[in-house]
């Protein structure tokens, strides 16, 4: 075989980050990584069973290939947690935005890096530094630190510095700013009509701060920004945005990584193979393709053909590999010493931030505890447990609620409903609410789950004393009638739900 071709294929492989479909290594997985020379692995919930198992999966793949991999993960905290053990489950970024400080996010970064390094993780695709707007954000939402660009920047920078100091590369995302997107790029192509003035004034501020803080990676986004790039292509394909703004204007010298090229936003642009070529032409160093082996092989072939035909430049590839090779991960041991476990003091930090973040709008009227009956309508958060990480206490929602509210001597009727309730579920909850002195409705998300909106509207009509707890979407407040007390959690992790329950069912003072 021509040594130049072999060298080219090895270089291409260094720029590829692929996922695999299960928790145990298969012959097909090894064959894929050998044939494509892929040097990056991204891990998801489907890959995790236990800390020991995830370490074995990484070790088995590296042993089979005879080479070191760049092991990556989305470990944002809150909504986006892939590991069910060995790590602390922190509240969402928006909870830190409302109840945390740069000192808190710095402590979070140090903690999560120590926990991830014991599990063999080199790169954390976090933090999200997108700035929210007044528009409903279906994809970013509680993943963001908020709508104040300087506060977002300060919170993110604290986390980036300590995470990287403890040995895990951080990644600021989603460049040049996904906060205004009203469509989820996983599903469709968002169009963001910000101009250059607004972009520089708001959405680039956290990225500029992250670059000054020395962030190792920046991840781009897939939306169309028609007022920024006259070619009317997604930011992933825009050399003006990736090379001109990120490299030129912001002076970023680290690794530019694409978001997953399998997302629905890019479906109309020829699929992952052609998208990879266009992403490289725009200036990306690392290419993510997270799920399907046929797409991953197509990306490898299309990139190889692109370099052979001259559509892609070998000198750009060599520079990309130099930047990737400079990452601290290659110099660290695969697993940091120690048994995978949450860091001391980490859960206390999570609880403290969750409590400070909870906001109450309106008056929570006291009840005559001995005579009152409270109906709790709560979503079945365990429903997607086969796809996303659900904390153990929430796998049995009714048992959890009984324990968490045991100190409150009111009569409680706990009604567990699906995330997207059917009409029968709504009727059942309404009947319980009518028989109660107070109803507490934990509202998951009304726009993504129309049944949840029906439930909210029905309970507002039926309940004589309603309290609404907003979990996944603080934007749902616009559907709550004036005068109805609203408790906003900014997320639905265990520490956040407990913090809301403490507000609604406060502990009684002990008699002296």
**pLDDT-derived band of residue 368, with 50, 70 and 90 as boundaries?**
low
**pLDDT-derived band of residue 364, with 50, 70 and 90 as boundaries?**
confident
Residues 259 and 387 in one domain: no
Q: What is the pLDDT of residue 6?
A: 66
Q: How many CB atoms lie within 10 A of CB 365?
A: 9
State pLDDT tens for residues 384-423.
Answer: 998 899 999 999 999 999 999 998 888 899 999 999 999 9
**Is pLDDT above 90 for 512?**
no
Residues 327 and 372 in one domain: no
Q: Which of 259, 285, 302, 476 is catalytic?
A: 259
Classify residue 228: in a domain, yes or no: yes
Q: How many CB atoms lie within 10 A of CB 311?
A: 14
**Is pLDDT above 80 for 506?**
yes
**pLDDT-derived band of residue 2, with 50, 70 and 90 as boundaries?**
very low
State pLDDT tens for residues 321-355.
Answer: 999 999 977 778 999 999 999 999 999 999 999 99
DSSP helix/strand/coil, 467: strand
DSSP helix/strand/coil, 326: coil
Residues 317 and 362 in one domain: no
* C-alpha–C-alpha distance, residues 351 and 353, integer Å: 6
Classify residue 486: in a domain, yes or no: yes
**Is pLDDT above 80 for 102?**
yes
Q: What is the mean pLDDT of residues 120-126?
A: 97
DSSP helix/strand/coil, 214: coil
Q: What is the mean pLDDT of residues 353-380?
A: 88
Residues 364 and 460 in one domain: yes
Last residue of a domain, one of 314, 331, 348: 331
Pairing type for strands 486-488 and 359-361 reads antiparallel
Q: What is the pLDDT of residue 510?
A: 60
**Is pLDDT above 60 for 5?**
no
Q: How many CB atoms lie within 10 A of CB 399?
A: 12
What value does the mean pLDDT of the chain take? 94
Domain count of the fold of the chain: 2
Q: Which of 186, 316, 413, 457 is catalytic?
A: 186
**Is pLDDT above 60 for 146?**
yes
**Is pLDDT above 60 for 460?**
yes
DSSP helix/strand/coil, 367: coil
* Joined tokens for residue 98: 């409302």
Helices (H), 243-367: 272-282, 293-309, 314-325, 346-357
Comparing CA positions, the residue from 139, 203, 207 lying closest to residue 170 is 207
Rounded to 10°, the helix 149-165/102-118 angle is: 40
Last residue of a domain, one of 331, 349, 383: 331
Q: What is the pLDDT of residue 329?
A: 75
Classify residue 337: in a domain, yes or no: no
Q: Which residue has the higher pLDDT, 365 or 76?
A: 76
Q: What is the pLDDT of residue 369?
A: 61
Residues 294 and 391 in one domain: no
Q: Which CATH number belongs to the domain containing residue 435 in this structure?
A: 3.40.50.1700
**Is pLDDT above 70 for 186?**
yes
Q: Which of 161-170, 192-201, 266-275, 501-510 has the lowest mean pLDDT?
A: 501-510
Residues 135 and 199 in one domain: yes
Residues 318 and 432 in one domain: no
Q: What is the mean pLDDT of residues 429-440?
A: 95
Classify residue 352: in a domain, yes or no: no
Residues 325 and 379 in one domain: no
**pLDDT-derived band of residue 491, with 50, 70 and 90 as boundaries?**
very high
Residues 375 and 256 in one domain: no
Q: What is the pLDDT of residue 38?
A: 97
Q: What is the pLDDT of residue 509?
A: 63
Residues 367 and 326 in one domain: no
DSSP states along 198-214: HIIIIITHHHHHHHHTT
Residues 132 and 264 in one domain: yes
Residues 363 and 311 in one domain: no
Q: What is the pLDDT of residue 1?
A: 37
Classify residue 446: in a domain, yes or no: yes
Last residue of a domain, one of 290, 316, 331: 331
Classify residue 345: in a domain, yes or no: no
Q: What is the pLDDT of residue 370?
A: 64
User: Catalytic: 259?
Assistant: yes
Classify residue 219: in a domain, yes or no: yes
Q: Cα-flanking dihedrals φ and ψ of residue 175, to 5°?
A: -65, 140
Q: Judge whether 400 and 393 are in contact, CB under 8 Å.
A: yes
Q: Which CATH number belongs to the domain containing residue 228 in this structure?
A: 3.20.20.300
Quote the domain boundaries for residue 414: 358-504
User: CA-based diameter of the chain, in Å?
Assistant: 86
**Is pLDDT above 50 for 445?**
yes
Instruction: End-to-end CA distance of the chain: give it in Å, rounded.
Output: 85
Classify residue 350: in a domain, yes or no: no
* C-alpha–C-alpha distance, residues 291 and 275, integer Å: 15
């Amino acid at each position: 075989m021509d040594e130049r071709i072999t060298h080219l294929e090895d270089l291409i492989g260094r720029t590829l980050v692929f996922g695999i479909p299960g928790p145990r290594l298969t012959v097909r997985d090894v064959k894929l990584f050998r044939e494509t020379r892929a040097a990056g692995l991204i891990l998801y919930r489907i890959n995790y069973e236990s800390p020991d198992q995830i370490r074995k999966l990484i070790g088995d793949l590296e042993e089979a290939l005879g080479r070191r991999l760049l092991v990556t993960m989305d470990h944002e905290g809150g909504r986006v947690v892939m590991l069910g053990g060995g790590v602390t489950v922190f509240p969402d970024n928006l909870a830190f935005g409302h109840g945390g400080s740069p000192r808190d996010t710095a402590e979070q970064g140090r903690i999560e890096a120590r926990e991830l390094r014991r599990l063999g993780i080199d790169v954390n695709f976090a933090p999200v530094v997108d700035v929210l707007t007044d528009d409903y954000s279906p994809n970013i939402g509680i993943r963001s630190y908020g709508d104040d660009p300087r506060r977002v920047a300060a919170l993110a920078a604290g986390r980036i510095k300590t995470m990287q100091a403890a040995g895990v590369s951080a990644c600021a995302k989603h460049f040049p700013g996904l906060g205004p997107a009203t469509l989820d790029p996983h599903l469709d192509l968002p169009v963001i009509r910000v101009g250059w003035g607004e972009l520089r004034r708001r959405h680039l501020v956290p990225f500029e701060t992250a670059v000054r803080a020395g962030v190792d990676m920046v991840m781009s986004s897939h939306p169309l920004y028609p007022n920024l790039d006259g070619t009317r292509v997604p930011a992933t394909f825009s050399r003006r945005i990736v090379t001109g703004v990120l490299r030129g204007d912001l002076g970023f010298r680290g690794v530019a990584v694409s978001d997953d090229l399998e997302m629905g936003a890019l479906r109309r642009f020829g699929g992952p193979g052609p998208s990879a070529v266009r992403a490289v032409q725009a200036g990306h160093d690392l290419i993510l393709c997270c799920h399907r082996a046929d797409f991953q092989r197509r990306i490898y072939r299309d990139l190889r053909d692109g370099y052979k035909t001259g559509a892609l430049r070998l000198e750009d590839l060599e520079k990309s590999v130099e930047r990737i090779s400079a990452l601290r991960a290659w110099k660290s041991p695969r697993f940091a010493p120690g048994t995978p476990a949450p860091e001391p003091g980490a859960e206390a930090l999570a609880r403290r931030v969750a409590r400070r973040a909870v906001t109450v709008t309106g008056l929570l009227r006291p009840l005559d505890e001995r005579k009152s009956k409270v109906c709790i309508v709560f979503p079945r958060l365990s429903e997607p447990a086969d796809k996303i990480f659900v904390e153990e206490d929430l796998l049995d929602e009714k048992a959890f609620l009984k324990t968490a509210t045991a100190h409150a001597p009111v009569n409680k009727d706990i009604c567990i409903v699906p995330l997207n309730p059917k009409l029968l579920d709504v009727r059942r909850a309404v009947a319980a609410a009518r028989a109660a002195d107070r109803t507490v409705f934990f509202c998951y998300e009304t726009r993504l789950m129309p049944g949840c909106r029906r439930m909210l509207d029905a309970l507002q009509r039926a309940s004589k004393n309603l309290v609404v707890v907003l979990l996944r979407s603080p934007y749902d407040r616009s559907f709550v009638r004036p005068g109805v007390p609203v408790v906003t959690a900014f997320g639905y992790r265990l520490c956040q739900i407990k913090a809301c329950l403490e507000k609604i069912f406060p502990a009684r003072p002990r008699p002296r």
